[in-house]
Structure 1
Amino acid sequence: MIETWQIILAGVTLSGYLLASLHTDNQKSMIFIHPRFISSLRHIPTPEGNHWLWGHGMKLHREPYCSPVREWNETVPNYGFLRYLGFFNAERIVLTSPEALHEVLVTQNYSFPKPASLRETAGRFLGIGLILSEGDAHKLQRRSMNPALAPRNIKALYPLFWDKTREMIERITADRLETVEVVEWASRITLDLIGVAGLGRDFGAIQDGHNEMVKTYNIVFQPSAQARMLHLIESLVPPWVLTALPIKLNSDMSQAARSIRETCRDVISSKQKKLKEKKLDDMDIISAAIRTGTFTEDGLIDQAMTLLAAGAAFTWGVYLLAKHPEVQDRLRHEIRQRLPPLTQAKESPISSVNVDSMPYLQAVCSEILRFYAPVPQTLREAAHDTSILDQFIPKGTRIVIAPWATNRCSKLWGSDAYLFKPDRWLGPEGVYWTGVCGG
């Protein structure tokens, strides 16, 4: 736990920084006057109820994640985006329509990079891989990783997923527990799946949930309440202030990230040696990236860290199936009809043909990703003066993209948008929804 003195020191550091930032009349006017009376964004639809200093920040902090944004999306009339005020009245633009999202993420994507503060903070642990890179570096990485992430290569990994699923079920069954801690098992199988499919390394998390790799992985990629508090502070101060806070969590996360990167380095060095000896025939994603010859060793480690950062969808999937037993029963029936029993998994491996023959499974997965997108919310920042749907957007404006809000918007998904309903993907219109669903 964070000690009392650490909390006090963090509070004093934060307060000192914020007070220093308010030391001139000009800066005070930027906080109190500019957003309401001067800003070129002030005419954009804005929810009521903002505090004179905290804006909508306390509402966003107190309520369930993205809940206020979902509420505003439904109740505040807008034409593709709306504005809210964060702590200290910092202006944020939330995209609410497919057209606005397309403009920011596709047609003008290099005009709206991720904020430098986000890349600096996350890059401290992940490196600058495919998710965090921008501009020409992103173009090169995307072009180089495309073959490794092609559907054909991913489908070739299905037998690995099947084997790991069998291993987990056997391990859970052997424990004979009345209650299964799904979050823990989700973390363990995610680490093993990404290890085997992404790096070609079995981390043994299913067999031993307390080994060193599991511990370090959870520190970095399964944030605690303390880490979420630091994330809140991160939205208020520059990254250097956050990293300078002398709290144990900072040092623990840095040490864990270094440990994972060294593990990735060992894996990659071994594969590079096999490539030189013309013996690299592994099917994992990093092996495919190595064969392109594009990445340096550190670049490959950054891509490996990016792969390890994935994995929240499994937990939400189990949660939704538990909440909807009728969906669970129907899905189980389809799986038992189309796939061999897990007891025969070793003798009867599956392929993409088996998986592609299960339309209800595809629909359930699509609905899980709609309902709980792996990335609930992310940020972009205007790199220069520009526009979105003809609305002027000044340089430095933060743009909020919130799949947990847009993916449940009744204007886009109909009056049943808030219902978990896999059947929406099975009708003739279902194939077109993938252009709307994001995250």
Structure 2
Amino acid sequence: MSSIIGLRSVGSLLNVVVPLSLTSALGSYVVTNVVPGFWPVQSLIASFVWLYSVQFTLVFIYGVLIYPHLVSPLRHLPEPKDNAFLMGQFWNLLRKPDTELTSKWVNEIPNEGLVRFRMSFNSETVLVTNPAALKEVLVTKNYDWEKPGIARAILSVLLGNGILIAEGDEHKRQRKLLSPAFSFRHVKDLYPTFWGKAKQCTEAITTAINASQLPGKDSPQFQMINEWASLCTLDIIGIAGMGHDFNAILDPENELSRTYSAVFSQSGKTKVIVAILNRIKRTPLRYIIPTENVVSRAAKVVRRISQQLIEEKKVNIAKGGPTDLDILSIAMESGGFSDDNLADQLMTFLAAGHETTANALTLAVYSLCKKPELQSRLRDEIRSQLPPLSEDVGITSTQIDHLPYLNAICNETLRLLSPVPATGRISVRDTTILGTFIPKGTQIVIPSAAINQSKHLWGDDAAEFNPDRWMGPGRANTGGAESNYAFMSFIHGPRSCIGKDFSRAEFACVMAAWFGRFEMRFKDPAYKLIPASGSVVLRPRGGLGVKITQIDGW
């Protein structure tokens, strides 16, 4: 979240600098050329500097010192007490994990659904903290809000202008056209595909750890489980999303795998720079400032591959080939997308569709390595209900759905370690939340991870990994929480994750295959999860190395 908020500060600065520069340039031209006798300074440059300095000083005093304290309609909202004079919570958010601070604010600051916190130069952000406020923002007045422009600039570099970036009526149109690809029945039909790739990945890991037992090799082999998760989910989205097998599991060095690996390893600072460069591309400054970078180069690769898949699908359709049920086929058959729009959608689902689930898998392994005693219980359930991987037998959605402890572990991972910890929005018009006036241009943060760990919603053990909260009558889908807005990992409403059922299904299938066969332990017994900085998703810095042991009999 700090990356989004920090970027907002960059965007706010640009919003001030540009108009002041224009008015200063116009004013200096007028006073030196139109009415030269009126103005004591005859130099165009000196006039510009003087006018800019005066305007900037007045704007700074009003915007930083007067407005947030004496004028803002948000000034009466509760807020953290440890604000820096000019920088608010900026330094705190740089020093501490975002979820630590937002969870503290949600749990400890008395509020009725909204908390204000200030950032650099006292710019205001509103934290949405309870179900009633969340419902209003996400459902009742959903289209009063959009993603902040600079956040969209970051995401659009690699994701194109697909459904994740679209806003307003365009988002409604795209979601309607793509919804059949994520319908309940369609996702259920994809379970054999998910299971097939989960088996292939498990066999590949088995081969890797067995190879490590050869002379001269470490035994057993340590594996970077985040890398296996990424390869597996990339193959799954390839088949289920595009009708194309990338074979990333068998060929980790293929072009697409290497491309995403390079992109997702970028630092937070690099992503900020990329966002700024992406904005420059749309201005005349692109002729002066080079905008080519590792992410833009990767985006070209992903778009080229997406366009190739579209052309292949067109050829297959022209030849009267069978009608597929993947996302691309359904999008093409809708007739509502141009080739460029289709490429944007593929870019979105390729990146977002595999990386978030890969991180969920990584975080589930992390949770079970922290509590290894839970693995035996999970393995017993899996082995008692599913055919061994050594048998060439498929599975159905019913078999996976009837594994209550497996699904409890998946749900608890998504609750406690939400892959997307927070989402930013900005008001596109004057609006209200719970009766509080919210001016146009106000940024809010929906702190999914903090809501998921709210003691008010989940009880005193909200910060503990406890799959049993999802066990028992009436708890499988709620975890015992009274409001569905207590679980925010996929958001809610018209902007909720369109692929949430798809993601849940592949998550469960891969977990079943992995923990049906393996026991996993931390490579470093003292391992502590440190989130990668500047990442939109919760990703362990440096990946997650684990010691994998095959348990015989499956």
TM-score by length of 2: 0.71
Structure-1 separation of matches of 2:265 and 2:133: 31
Structure-1 separation of matches of 2:78 and 2:442: 16
Q: Aligned residue for 2:297?
A: 255
Summarize the Cα distance change of 1:297–1:149 in structure 2 as closer, same or farther, 3 Å threshold: same
Deviation at 1:34, TM superposition (A): 1.7
Summarize the Cα distance change of 1:60–1:144 in structure 2 as closer, same or farther, 3 Å threshold: same
Contact residue 205 and residue 214 of structure 1 kept, 8 A? yes
Summarize the Cα distance change of 1:331–1:185 in structure 2 as closer, same or farther, 3 Å threshold: same
Q: Aligned residue for 2:332?
A: 290
Q: Aligned residue for 2:279?
A: 240
2:53 maps to 1:28: no
Name which one, 1 or 2, has greater alpha-carbon Rg.
2
**Secondary structure in 1 aligned to 2:390?**
helix
Deviation at 1:90, TM superposition (A): 1.4
Q: Aligned residue for 2:488?
A: 438
Contact residue 274 and residue 293 of structure 2 kept, 8 A? no
2:131 maps to 1:98: yes
**Secondary structure in 1 aligned to 2:127?**
strand
Contact residue 147 and residue 425 of structure 2 kept, 8 A? yes
Deviation at 1:360, TM superposition (A): 1.5
Contact residue 233 and residue 242 of structure 1 kept, 8 A? no
- Map Cα deviations across residues 174-205 of structure 1 (whole Å, 9 max, x no partner): 12242111122122112112112211222222
**Secondary structure in 1 aligned to 2:293?**
helix
- Map Cα deviations across residues 22-42 of structure 1 (whole Å, 9 max, x no partner): 941232120233212221111
Structure-1 separation of matches of 2:178 and 2:369: 36
Q: Aligned residue for 2:261?
A: 218
Q: Which amino acid aligns with 1:302?
A: D
Structure-2 separation of matches of 1:238 and 1:45: 36
The answer to which of 75-84 and 354-363 deviates more is: 354-363
2:344 maps to 1:302: yes
2:120 maps to 1:70: no
Structure-2 separation of matches of 1:297 and 1:427: 48
2:231 maps to 1:188: yes
- Map Cα deviations across residues 207-261 of structure 1 (whole Å, 9 max, x no partner): 12222211112233x2422xx12445689x7963699799999511101111111
Q: Which amino acid aligns with 2:57?
A: D
Deviation at 1:418, TM superposition (A): 0.6
Structure-1 separation of matches of 2:172 and 2:16: 41
Summarize the Cα distance change of 1:435–1:279 in structure 2 as closer, same or farther, 3 Å threshold: farther
Summarize the Cα distance change of 1:247–1:229 in structure 2 as closer, same or farther, 3 Å threshold: farther
**Secondary structure in 1 aligned to 2:163?**
coil
% of aligned pairs identical?
A: 40
**Secondary structure in 2 aligned to 1:330?**
helix
Contact residue 381 and residue 396 of structure 1 kept, 8 A? yes
Residue segments in structure 2 that go unaligned for 5+ positions in a row: 1-9, 21-51, 213-220, 490-554
The answer to which of 247-256 and 64-73 deviates more is: 247-256
Summarize the Cα distance change of 1:155–1:195 in structure 2 as closer, same or farther, 3 Å threshold: same
Structure-1 separation of matches of 2:432 and 2:274: 27
When the two chains are superposed, the root-mean-square deviation of aligned CA atoms in Å is 2.6
Contact residue 387 and residue 393 of structure 1 kept, 8 A? yes
Structure-2 separation of matches of 1:372 and 1:182: 17
**Secondary structure in 2 aligned to 1:148?**
helix
Deviation at 1:158, TM superposition (A): 1.2
Contact residue 271 and residue 280 of structure 1 kept, 8 A? no
Q: How does 1:59-208 map to 2 (within 5 A)?
A: 59-176=92-209, 177=212, 178-208=221-251
Deviation at 1:17, TM superposition (A): 6.9
The answer to which of 208-217 and 378-387 deviates more is: 208-217
Structure-2 separation of matches of 1:353 and 1:63: 43
- Map Cα deviations across residues 299-332 of structure 1 (whole Å, 9 max, x no partner): 2222212212233212111111211223222111
Contact residue 387 and residue 393 of structure 2 kept, 8 A? yes
Contact residue 153 and residue 279 of structure 2 kept, 8 A? no
Q: Which amino acid aligns with 1:170?
A: E
Q: Which amino acid aligns with 2:59?
A: Q
Q: Aligned residue for 1:5?
A: none
